[in-house]
Amino acid sequence: MDAPACFDVPSEARNIDLDLYSRQYYVYGGKAMSRLAEANVFLSGLSGVGIEIAKNIALAGVNSLTLHDPQPASYLDLSTQFFLSEADIGKSRADVVAAKIRELNAYVKIDVFSGDINTHPVEYFKQYKCVVLTEVPLETQVRINDYCHKEGIAFASAEVRGLFTWAFCDFGDKFEIHDKNGEEPVEVMIEGVTSENPGVVTTLDKAPHGLEDGTLLSFREVKGMTQLNESGRVFEVKVVNSSTFTIGDTSGFSPYQSGGIATEVKKTFHMNFLPLRDALEHGEFSIADWAKMDSSPNLHIGMQALHLFQKANNGQLPRPWNKDDADAFIKLCTEVNSKTKLKVDNLDESLLRKLAHTSRGSIVGLTAFMGGLVAQEAVKACTGKFSPLHQWLYFDAIEVLPRLEEGQEHDPENFQPAGNSRYDAQVICLGKKLVETIKGLKLFMVGSGAIGCEMLKNFAMLGVSAGSEGQIIVTDNDVIEKSNLNRQFLFRNHDIQKPKSTTAANAALAMNNELHIESHLKKVGTESEDIYTDHFFRSLDLVVNALDNINARLYVDQRCVTNQRALLESGTLGTKGHVQVIVPFLTESYGSRRDPPEKDVPFCTLKSFPNQIEHCIQWARDKFETNYNLQPTEHNKIVDDVKDFIQKLRETGGGDRLVRATKAVKYIENRPQNFDDCISWARITFEKNYPNKIKQLLHSFPLDQVTPEGGLFWSGAKRPPVVFEFDPTNSLHIDYVRYAAALRAKVWGITPEHVNPRKDEDNAYLVKICLGTTVPPFKPRDNKVIETDTNKKKEQVEAAKEEAIVEEFDEAKFTETLDKLASLVAASGGKLVTHPEEFEKDVDANFHIDFITATSNLRAASYAIAQADRLKTKRIAGRIMPAIATTTAAVSGLVSLELIKLADKRTIMADYKNAFLNLGLPVVNMAEPSAAEKTVITPSVSITLWDSWEIKLGDITLQQFVDHFHTKYNLSVTGVFLGVQMVYVTMMPGHSKRLPQKLRRVLTSLSPQDVKGQKYVDLIVTFEDEGGAEVNGPAVRFWLVGKRRKAATASSSAKTTTPSSSAGQ
C-alpha cells in the first residue's frame, strides 16, 4: 500500500512544529520556514524598538538570536521596554531580557554578546545571516555595514527618537528574492488561444485574470495546442485587457481546440542595495504618508545631525524641550544640509525642532510599529520571501503632540520628566497633562488574541487606566491553544487551555501593576446585551476592537455608533494590516464601507460540477457537517421526545414528511453495534459518494452530451468526471474508510480502532472488513434531477425537490413509518443517544481534518483536479487566517498612536490617521479618515449616522408622537416601526385607530418582550417632507414612562433632545 495520503505534508514542512507555527506557515511556506530555522541573527540595542524586534524575531523561529546591549536600564526605558521593571534599573538590559526572550520560543537559541561593537573586529559578524543595529552611533553603523555589504550579510538599522523613527536596509549587491509578494499563484481557466505572433489568450467567460506584465505562466489541460502543456515550459505575459493577454509567438503551434488552465509561476528576482555610507548621499525614501512628502528629506538631515550632536556631547541627546540644545541641533542640521548631495532647499525648522525637543523620549506606538516592520525585514533577509525595504523609511507621529490654539506655544515645563517615573519618556513626547488623561481612560477591548495581546502590552506602557478613575475591561470567550503562542506573546506553554482574557490581563499587570484591569469571558453580541448595555457603552471613553471576524466587528461598530463612542478598529491578514479610527460626529464608521461580498460558489458546482480543490473541500466539509453533526443532533431531538416529533410531523403539511420519518427510522435501524459495523458503513458510503454518484452523473449527462446551443456539455468549467472503483491497495481509499468509520464510531459512543495509518495490521484489518462488506449494486435512475443552473441557490433546489415529493406522498406508508419509529425508540431503553461532532480544526486526534482531506481528495480525483495536502486542506476547511507577529505588532503600534489622539479629544480630521500596510512589499499608507456622510433632511436640518433623536415627551399618544415631528421639523410621519413590527403605517387600514392610544401601550401590545422593563425603545420612523419626497431620518429613541410617573409627566413640557447640533437642535 502507498504511504498514508492524509498524513502527507510537503517535505519541507516535516521538520516544522505545525502545532506552533501553523498560522505563520500559511504566510511563509515550508521552504522559507526551513531557511528561517537555519538562520542566525545579531541584534544590538534593547530599548523599546530593540525589544520589539527581538520579540518578533524570536517568535518567528530563527535558529539563534544574539542580543547585545551593555546599556543599564533606566526609567526612560519603562515607557516602551515591556520586559523591564523598576527592579531592573541599573542592570544590563541584555542580561535582564535574555531570559524573557527565551521564554517566547523554545526552538530559538538566545545568546548574549557583551563585547563593544564600536571597536570589536567586524569579522565577528561573519557567522550571521542578518545584523540589526538599533540606536547605535552612525559611525559604528557605517563600519559594520561596510563589512556586511562586502560579505553578503544582510544589514538593517533602526531608531526611535521621540515622535520620530527611521529604518535603513542594505541586503547586498544582489539579494535574491524567491517570492516578491507572497500571494497565492494566480490560476485562470481559458477558452481560447490564437495561433499568431503574439498569441492572444482569452479567459473563460471573460473572467478577470488579475495578471501583470512580466508574469510567467505554465499551462495544463489545453486540448489541441498541446505545446502549451509541455513540462517546464513557461510563457511571459503581456496584458491586453482584464480578460485577455498575450504569451509570445504561438503561430507554429497546433490549433487550439478547448479547455486549459494557466497558472502563475513564481520567478526569482534580484535587488541591489547601496551600502550605508553611499545611501546617506544617494538613498531612496519610501513614503508612508503622502501628506508629508517633504518630511523624509528633512528627517534624513535631522538623523545625521542628531548623531553629530551625540558625538559632540558625550553621547547625550538634546535635553527635552531645551531651546539652547535645539538651537545647536538646528545649526548642525544646516551644516549637514550644506554638505550633502541630498540637499533640502528649505529646511523645515519647526519639524526638526520637534525632533530635538523629544529625542530623549519615546512612545510605544512608534516602537511597536517600527519593531514589527524591521523584524519583518530581518525575516526577509533570512528567507528571501517578500520584497525588502529599499532603502530608507522615515515616519513621525507629531500629531500626538497636544494641539495648541493659534499663537500658543508649548510650555517646556509640561514636558519635563520627573527622573524617577516609568512614564518619563512618554512625558517628554506628550506632556504631563496628556499622560494623566491617558491614565484616566475607561476603555473596553473586545478580544485578547494576537492584536489584543499587543494592545494590552501597549496599554501597560502608556499607562491606560493607571489613574484612580481609569479602567480597562477586556473580554474574550476563547481559551489559549498552542498555535496561539507563535504570535500572542503574552501566553506561554503553561497557559494552554486557560482563558485568554484573564491570562492576558495578568500578563499586562505584570508589566505595569498600576493598571486597573478587569477581564471577562463573555462573547460580545446580542446574547450579552444584558451585560454590555447601552449604559455600559456610554460609560466608556472608547472601545478597541481586537476581533478576527467581520460580523463581530460590525456588531461592535453599530453599538458604538448607537451610543456615540469612539472605536479603534484594526485587523491583519498575513503581512497585510489596517487601522481605522472612528470618531463620533467626525468620521464614517466601520460599517459605512463594506468590501463587496465574496461571490458564492454556485450550488450546482459544489454538488456536481467542481473545478477547483476549494469546491471539493467545501463539499467534504458539508459531508462532515451532515453525517457527524446535523444528523446526530436531529436524531437526539427525535429520541428525546419522539411523541412531540411525531405530532409535529403529522401536523405539518410539508411534502418531505415521509422522507423525514423514513430517514429517522433508517438512522436508528442502521446504527452500528461495533467498530466493524462502522467500517462497513464507511465502505458503503464510499460507493455512494464516488463510483455511484459519478455513474449517475454520466448517465444523466453522457460525455458526448451537447447543450441546446450545440456545444459540448462537458466543457469550460464543467470538468468531465471519471469513475473509479474501490481499490483496497490505494491508501487514499482506505484513509476515507478509516476516518469515516472513526467519526461514525465516535458519534455512536464506540471506541475507534485500527485507525493508525502507520500500522500495517490496522490497514490490513480495514481491508479485510471492506472486502467482506456486501455493497448494494448500483442502478442509475432515468428521472434523477441534477441541477445545472448556476443561478439557483441551495434553498431553491431543495424547495423544488420538496414540491416533487408532494405528488408521491403515501399517507398509509407515512403512518406505518411513524408507528415503527415510536416502536424503535420505545424498545431502545434510552440507548439511542448520539454524540455529535463539533468541527475543530486544531485537534489532530479528532480525525476531522483527516476525514475532510481524504474525502475532498477522492472528489478531486474524480474530476482530475490537483489534490491538496493536509495543511492546505486544514487552511481552507478551517478558514484559517494566515497570521504573523510582525504585522500584529506594527498594526497595534499605529492603533496606539490614534488612541492618544482620542484621549486628547481631537476634533480636527487632519489629526487622525487611518492606515493600510503590507509589510511584505513593504508599503505603509497613512491617510485621513473619511468624513461621516451628511444627509440633508430639510433646509435647516442635516444628520449623519451618529445622530439620533431622543424623544422625552412623557406618556404621550401615538398622535402626539406623530405631531411632534411635523411641529419640530415640518416632516409628515409615514411609518413607525419597532424592529419588524409595524406600529403605524399610514397606508395600512386600521392603523389610524391607534393614533389616540398611548404609544407605550401600543408598543407593549405589539412586542411586550421589547418594552417591558425597558427605559426606552429604539424606533425606525419614516417621513415625507412638505414636497411629498421620502426622507430617511435618524434613529429615534423613545423614552418610556412607567405608570407611577404618569401624573408627574403630564405637566412636563415636551422637548426633543439631540446629541448633535446638526440634527436641528
Helix (H, G, I), strand (E, B) or coil at 1006: helix
445/589 Cα distance (integer angstroms)? 17
33/769 Cα distance (integer angstroms)? 42
Placement of cell 486544531 in the chain: 842
Short-list 671, 621, 617, CA closest to 835: 671
Short-list 231, 230, 217, CA closest to 267: 217
994 Cβ contact partners less than 8 Å away, ≥ 6 residues apart: 958, 983, 984, 1002
CA 84-50-426 angle, 5° bins: 60
Question: How large is the angle between the packed helices 93-102 and 48-60, nearest 10 degrees?
Answer: 30
Provide the greatest CA pair distance for the chain: 102
User: Which residue type, as a one-letter code, is found at position 416?
Assistant: Q
Which grid cell is 443?
476603555
Convert 429-440 into a string of H (helix), E (strand) and C (coil): HHCHHHHHHHHC
Which grid cell is 128?
550571521
The sign one gets for the Cα dihedral 429, 431, 435, 437 is negative
Q: Name the CA radius of gyration of the chain, rounded.
A: 34
Question: How large is the angle between the packed helices 364-383 and 450-462, nearest 10 degrees?
Answer: 140
User: Other CB atoms closer than 10 Å to residue 926's CB: what's the count?
Assistant: 20
Q: Are 876 and 614 in contact (CB under 8 A)?
A: yes
Q: Is 61 left (phi over 0), alpha (psi -120 to 50) or beta?
A: left
Cis bond upstream, residue 673 (ω within 30): no
User: Which residue type, as a one-letter code, is found at position 442?
Assistant: K
Strands 216-220 and 261-265: antiparallel
Strands 175-177 and 164-170: unpaired
Cis bond upstream, residue 922 (ω within 30): yes
677 Cβ contact partners less than 8 Å away, ≥ 6 residues apart: none
Burial class (CB in 10 A: 0-12, 13-18, 19+), 87: exposed
317/299 Cα distance (integer angstroms)? 16
143/811 Cα distance (integer angstroms)? 93
Cis bond upstream, residue 412 (ω within 30): no
780/194 Cα distance (integer angstroms)? 41
Task: For residue 111, list its beta bridge partners.
Answer: 66
Alpha helices in 526-576 (DSSP H): 534-538, 550-562
DSSP helix, strand, coil percent of the chain (3-state; round to 5): 45, 15, 40
From the candidates 453, 560, 604, 616, which is the catalytic residue? 604
Short-list 571, 542, 584, CA closest to 931: 584
Q: Are 895 and 542 in contact (CB under 8 A)?
A: no
Q: Could you give phi then psi for residue 314, rounded to 5 degrees?
A: 55, 40
Q: Are 877 and 849 in contact (CB under 8 A)?
A: yes
Cis bond upstream, residue 198 (ω within 30): yes
Short-list 135, 163, 408, 411, CA closest to 295: 163
123/128 Cα distance (integer angstroms)? 10
Q: Are 754 and 663 in contact (CB under 8 A)?
A: no
382 catalytic residue (yes or no): no
Q: Which residues are identified as catalytic? A: 604
